[in-house]
Amino acid sequence: MNQRLCVAVVGAGYWGPNLARNFRSSPDWELSTICDLDSERAQRVADAVGGVPVTTSLDDVLADPTVDAIAVATPARTHHAVVMSALRAGKHVMVEKPLADQRGRGVDMVREAERRGLTLMADHTYCYTPAVLKIRELVQEGFLGDILFVDSVRINLGLIQPDVDVFWDLAPHDLSILDFVLPNGLDAATVAAHGADPLRTGKSCVGYLSLPLAGGAMAHIHVNWLSPTKIRQMVIGGTRRTLVWDDLNPQQRVSVYDRGVDLALQSKGSADSTASNISYRLGDTWAPALPETEALAGVVSEFAISIRDSRPARTSGESGLRVLSVLEAASASLRCSGAPSPIASTEAIEPILAGAEA
């Protein structure tokens, strides 16, 4: 059980070097190979982590019996082909967000991993930050009460991506966090998306997502490539307390406010809002102490534990598929001028998985 697992990193672009560094420093993993079509780029990553073999051939990586798993850090449009080949070769797979570029391809990947008894993990890195882990703990134990709303802002003067819009680039972070921390995950039937392209790039550069959640709560996500000010903030309001996460404030990333609105019905049998007494609660503010640890170290550790324990990862392929389902529905909403679009349920693939097991 203490023997190291062997992993190859596929993709040496923006995210691959971070994966390589964390796998190399992990006690759970032996980094065997850096694979990229650009051999010079792969070599630079290999040299940066102390030297490991490089290759331009994915087939060679998948044919190596000593490789237990691969970590995929290639463009989303390539995920399906790379992941399916790896799963068919008997390799466990971790893949960066989004899981795929189309929901149907994501379903293929989840189904193949389930059929072969392999781990398919989504690299939803934010879910392994100390702040988000604490948020999940507080929400799950009911410290905030019933969730009333979530308001998330992720804006900066960012790189306009050539192949995806701002929703597919930035919103997966916020959607994966909601799926991770909310009691019922991304339990939404529809999503409405509004986007703007003021620079005429051919894709939305500014966007807003609205998701009505179960129980009457509402989640709202604002993503923007054009803001000169960088903001990464999420507000989660509950019936008991409200939590504010400011990812750019290392001194106080999470704050919990005992402030809110109390609604006491004067007449339980009356539906008339005038029969309600609204009061405002102004209490203390609390900031939990959080360790400063690198989230990716938690990601690679969870990947190893999932494989060794033969259990789904905390951010499993199904989690990645739920995020992907919202993104695809958001794209449909954009094409309909912001009209709410139904979100395909991941429950629809369960009969397929059961049939594969039989």
- The model's pLDDT over 61-114, given as tens digits with 9 standing for 90+, comes to 999 999 999 999 999 999 999 999 999 999 999 999 999 999 999 999 999 999
On whether both 185 and 305 belong to a single domain, the answer is no
Burial of 43 (C-beta count, 10 Å sphere; 0-12/13-18/19+): middle
Domain that holds residue 268: 127-286
- Domain presence at residue 221: yes
On whether both 338 and 252 belong to a single domain, the answer is no
Name the least confident of 155-159, 231-235, 275-279.
275-279
Domains: count for the chain: 2
Instruction: Say which CATH number the domain at 203 has.
Output: 3.30.360.10
Task: Give pLDDT, residue 146.
Answer: 93
- Domain presence at residue 239: yes
On whether both 147 and 19 belong to a single domain, the answer is no
Q: What percent of the chain stands above pLDDT 90? A: 85
On whether both 148 and 257 belong to a single domain, the answer is yes
315 pLDDT higher than 90: yes
- Domain presence at residue 169: yes
On whether both 210 and 76 belong to a single domain, the answer is no
On whether both 108 and 62 belong to a single domain, the answer is yes
Task: Give pLDDT, residue 268.
Answer: 46
pLDDT, tens digit, 9 for 90 and up, residues 35-50:
999 999 999 999 999 9
- Domain presence at residue 100: yes
Task: Give pLDDT, residue 76.
Answer: 93
On whether both 163 and 146 belong to a single domain, the answer is yes
Average pLDDT over residues 322-329: 97
Q: Which DSSP category does 343 fall into?
A: P
Exposure string for 13-34, b = 16+ CB within 10 A, e = fewer: eebbbbbbbbbbebebbbbbbb
* Cβ count within 10 A of residue 41: 17
On whether both 81 and 61 belong to a single domain, the answer is yes
pTM of the model: 0.90
> How high is the mean pLDDT of the chain?
92
On whether both 252 and 350 belong to a single domain, the answer is no
